[in-house]
Structure formats: structure tokens, C-alpha cells
């Protein structure tokens, strides 16, 4: 098991994006004077980090980062038991031979040391981790021009992501695809991330890509402009890569392009809203000391958790054909999300890598890549319920910030998708459904 930091720069160029309202040449002097006297623009809202990721700010040594990981993920070792992944391990399904990637800004060059120290404490094997920089060299958090706290929060996000993947699939290889521009809101940082997706797909590096980030659809110049990011996802799908994303932590709403605050009405987050992606909502496990469920999972909600898991309807993407079976439930011609849910008390940036770990188990069981799983999820697995390892979530309402959200209910619902998973049954069921 080798650990390498490998910068990869292959003629990357950031696409030019013209935002609506940008002043062009020929503006009058009067307008220029008015602009000079106007109030300064609000700063970009920035990436919405979970409290767990933000807790890593100032934690610069490996012991400090492990301590933050311990505090944030106190229940994590139990989750592999709760989702019955340990029973798959006993059958030899540990993720061996699979590779799962997390796509993050900046990353953390100490991630393997952090994960190995955490794993040693919790009976997990050493991790096989590789860091790539496919979109250009990544700056250090202390470099000039870098927002140190934002950079260190991304480092926390990286450590949390890989820990959740490793906890579900301890023998899977983990790739950290780190990009040099912070993803904030709108297009910022996303071209670099899509370049990284292309690199991972083109070089057949990752079987599964997890994306714990998102930006409100309204923050793009237009809804149609969002789709300029889709070619990379299309190419990854054709290469058989499965992509998962977090649904967001703002309930039915989302952050403004320039903050502070959220929209006062329902919005959707990208890439959660993209039909090429399997989107993860957030639930809460209720466990005893051994990791056994004491009652059914329910939604992460503002009332209980201080924030709500994201769920809603896209304004950019039409309902894909595989969602036609639930169109009477969604009541919409647009794509609904999430598709499925997992533990998200630390934000749905926790749910996505957990599910990515489950998919790594399925890659091993399948002896190869899974590709797009949403058609199988909606037409075979979800309707089969517990027989296919899909566990209904019926409690919770993701309303937040005065915006009415969506309620969990029996069967499929917008709030939780099909519910959550029992990996012991879900993994072989998914493999069978794909053949």
C-alpha cells in the first residue's frame, strides 16, 4: 500500500463564464461614478460546511485532526454494524479491488496518517489512500491569497469523507481528488471539479465518485447554463463510474450566491439535482452501545438537529424516465431528490461517502463497475422494499428557515427518496438488478 501525492496538470484551462449583470466596455462615466458611490458588493456565500468540517479549523497536526475526527464521528464505528456491512465483511465482501474517490477542494496532505490513526483505534485495517491533483497543483492553506479557515475546513471534509468510506469498505482503495480552487456558489470551483471527474474517468481510476458539495441552482446565470457542466458527468457515466452526491443541509432552500442567508422559497442544489447522480439525503440512526438500531431511522430535521437534510425538485432538469413510476407522488415534471438516504447528523456530506462505501462493496461483489444505478433503484430495488434491502423512512419534515419542506411518508417520498439501506441485502440485490 503506497501513499503518493501526485500532481497532474494536463493543459487545464478554466472555462470563461459571463455572469448576468456584469458591466461591459462602453459603460458611461456617470454610471461609473454611481457604481463608485454604491455600497460594496456582498462577498460570496462560500461553501456550506458542516459543523464537523468547520471544527477542523486550527487543527494543523495529525493528533489534533484525529481528535477532531473522534469528536465528530463518535458513533461512526457503530455504523458499519447498523447498516450490516460487517456481515458482508464476514462473507469476504470488504471492498477489495474497488476504488472510491472523494472530490474536494484543497484536500488534506495528512489524510492517510489521520485515517490510519483513527482506524487503529477502532479495529479497522490501514487505509490504501492516494492523493491526486488532476486540475493543477493545490496550494497550502497558509499560502498567500488562500482563505485559511476555508482551506482547513475542506481538509476536515476530506478527513471525514475518507473515514466514512473506509468504515463501510475497509479494503477499498480511496482516492482524494483535490482541486486548487475552492468550490463556493455558482460556477466558482466547479469547472476544476468537472475536470477532475474527467481525469478520473478517462484514466479509469475510480469506480465510484463521491461529491460532498453543492450550489443552489438559482446561483447560476441561468438554469440552462448549469448543463454546461454535464459533459464530464456524461463521460464518467459512459465509463461505468457511479456518482453520488449529498442533497444539502438547508432543507428545501439554499444559500444565496452572495450572502448571507438563504432563499425564502424552495430551491434545489446542484449536483444533487442532476439525474446523472445518485443523491443522498440525511437520516438519523438510533443505536444502542453495540450499534443495533433501537428504533427506525428518521429524517435529519432543523427541530432535532439544528438543520434539515436537503430535498426538493429541480428547476433545471426534467423528470428522468426512471422516475416516471413515482410521478404521482412527486406531482412534478421535474427531477426530485434525494434518491436514497443514510446517516447525516453531521450533514449530508456524511451520507454521500457512506453510500459510496456501500457501493464499493457492490463493485467487489459485481466483479466490476456498476455504472448508473438510478434506473435499477427506481424500477426494481425501491419498489421491492426490504426484500431488496431498502428500508422505508416515514418520519420527519425538512422544513427550514421558514420555508415549507417535504415530509417523509410510507413508500417513496421526496424527503427521503426510497428510504435507507440494509447493506447485507442491498448489495447483492443491486448486483442482481444490474444484470
pLDDT at 411: 97
pLDDT (mean) for 345-372: 96
Confidence band for 42, pLDDT divided at 50, 70 and 90: low
Rounded Cα distance, 190 and 187, in Å: 5
In this predicted structure, what is the pLDDT of residue 44? 52
* Res. 19: pLDDT tops 80: no
At 209, is the secondary structure helix, strand, or coil? strand
Q: Which three cell numbers stand for residue 432?
A: 442482481
Other C-beta atoms closer than 10 Å to the C-beta of 239 total 17
* Average pLDDT over all residues of the chain: 88
**Does residue 5 register a pLDDT over 50?**
no
How far apart CA 391 and CA 389 sit, in angstroms, is 6
Taking the complete model, does pTM exceed 0.85, yes or no? yes
Across residues 22-35, what is the average pLDDT? 32
Query: Rounded to an integer, what distance in angstroms lies between the CA atom of residue 239 and that of residue 202?
Result: 8
Please report how the helices 423-433 and 348-366 are oriented relative to each other, as an axis angle in degrees rounded to 10. Answer: 60
CA distances from 271 to 2, 62, 315, 327 (A): 32, 32, 12, 21
Whole-angstrom distance, CA of residue 65 vs CA of residue 72: 11
Selected residue with higher pLDDT from 342 and 12: 342
What are the pLDDT digits (tens) for 146-158?
999 999 999 999 9
For residues 320 and 377, give the distance between their C-alpha atoms in angstroms, rounded to a whole number: 13
Q: What is the pLDDT of residues 222-233, one digit of tens each?
A: 999 999 999 999
Using one digit for the tens of pLDDT, what is the confidence trace for 323-336? 999 999 999 999 99
Give the pLDDT confidence score for residue 292 in this predicted structure.
Answer: 85
Distances in Å between the alpha carbon of 21 and those of 24, 32, 37, 115, 259? Answer: 9, 14, 18, 45, 17
Tell me what pLDDT residue 53 has: 86
Q: What are phi and psi of 75, to 5 degrees?
A: -95, -5
Which of 49-53, 200-204, 261-265 has the lowest average pLDDT? 49-53
pLDDT band for position 29 (cuts 50, 70, 90): very low
Closest CA to 168 of 55, 299, 73, 286: 73
Domains of the chain: 42-433 (3.40.50.200)
Pick from 339, 330, 348: which is nearest to 406 by CA?
330
Assess whether the previous peptide bond of 221 is cis (omega < 30° from 0).
no
Q: What integer pLDDT is reported at residue 24 of this predicted model?
A: 27
Q: What is the mean pLDDT of residues 99-124?
A: 94
Q: How many percent of the chain have pLDDT more than 70?
A: 88
Amino acid at each position: 500500500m503506497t501513499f503518493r501525492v501526485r500532481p497532474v496538470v494536463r493543459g487545464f484551462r478554466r472555462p470563461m463564464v459571463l455572469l448576468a449583470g456584469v458591466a461591459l466596455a462602453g459603460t458611461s462615466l456617470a454610471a461609473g461614478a454611481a457604481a463608485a458611490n454604491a455600497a460594496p458588493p456582498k462577498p460570496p456565500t462560500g461553501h456550506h460546511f458542516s459543523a464537523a468540517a468547520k471544527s477542523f479549523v486550527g487543527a494543523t497536526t495529525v493528533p489534533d485532526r484525529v481528535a477532531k475526527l473522534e469528536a465528530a464521528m463518535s458513533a461512526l464505528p457503530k455504523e458499519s454494524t447498523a447498516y450490516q456491512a460487517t456481515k458482508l465483511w464476514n462473507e469476504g465482501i470488504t471492498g477489495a479491488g474497488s476504488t472510491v474517490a472523494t472530490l474536494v477542494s484543497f484536500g488534506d496532505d495528512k489524510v492517510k496518517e489521520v485515517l490510519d490513526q483513527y482506524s487503529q483505534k477502532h479495529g479497522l485495517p490501514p487505509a490504501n489512500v492516494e492523493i491526486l491533483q488532476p486540475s493543477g497543483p493545490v496550494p497550502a492553506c497558509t499560502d498567500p491569497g488562500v482563505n485559511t479557515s476555508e482551506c482547513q475546513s475542506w481538509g476536515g471534509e476530506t478527513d471525514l469523507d475518507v473515514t466514512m468510506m473506509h468504515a463501510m469498505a475497509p479494503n477499498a482503495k480511496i482516492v482524494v481528488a483535490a482541486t486548487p480552487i475552492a468550490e463556493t456558489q455558482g460556477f466558482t470551483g466547479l469547472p476544476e471539479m468537472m475536470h477532475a471527474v474527467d481525469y478520473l474517468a478517462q484514466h479509469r481510476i475510480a469506480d465510484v465518485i463521491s461529491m460532498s458539495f453543492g450550489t443552489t441552482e438559482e446561483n447560476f446565470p441561468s438554469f440552462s447554463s448549469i448543463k454546461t457542466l454535464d459533459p464530464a458527468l456524461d463521460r464518467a457515466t459512459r465509463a461505468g463510474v457511479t456518482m453520488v452526491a449529498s442533497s444539502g443541509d438547508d432543507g428545501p432552500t439554499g444559500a444565496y450566491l452572495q450572502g448571507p442567508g438563504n432563499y425564502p422559497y424552495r430551491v434545489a442544489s446542484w449536483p444533487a439535482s442532476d439525474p446523472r447522480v445518485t443523491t443522498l439525503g440525511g437520516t438519523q440512526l438510533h443505536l444502542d452501545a453495540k450499534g443495533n438500531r433501537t428504533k427506525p431511522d428518521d429524517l435529519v430535521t432543523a427541530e432535532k438537529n439544528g438543520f434539515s437534510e436537503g430535498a426538493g425538485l429541480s428547476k433545471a432538469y426534467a423528470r428522468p424516465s426512471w422516475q416516471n413510476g413515482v410521478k404521482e407522488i412527486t406531482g412534478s415534471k421535474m427531477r426530485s431528490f434525494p434518491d436514497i438516504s443514510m446517516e447525516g447528523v453531521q450533514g449530508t456530506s456524511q451520507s454521500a461517502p457512506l453510500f459510496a462505501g456501500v457501493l464499493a462493496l457492490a463493485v467487489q461483489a459485481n466483479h466490476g463497475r456498476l455504472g448508473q444505478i438510478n434506473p435499477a433503484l427506481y424500477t426494481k430495488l425501491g419498489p421491492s422494499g426490504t426484500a431488496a434491502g431498502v428500508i422505508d423512512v416515514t418520519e420527519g419534515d425538512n422544513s427550514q428557515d421558514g420555508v415549507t419542506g417535504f415530509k417523509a411518508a410510507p413508500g417513496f417520498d421526496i424527503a427521503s427518496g426510497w428510504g435507507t439501506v440494509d447493506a447485507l441485502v442491498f448489495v447483492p440485490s443491486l448486483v442482481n438488478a444490474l444484470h
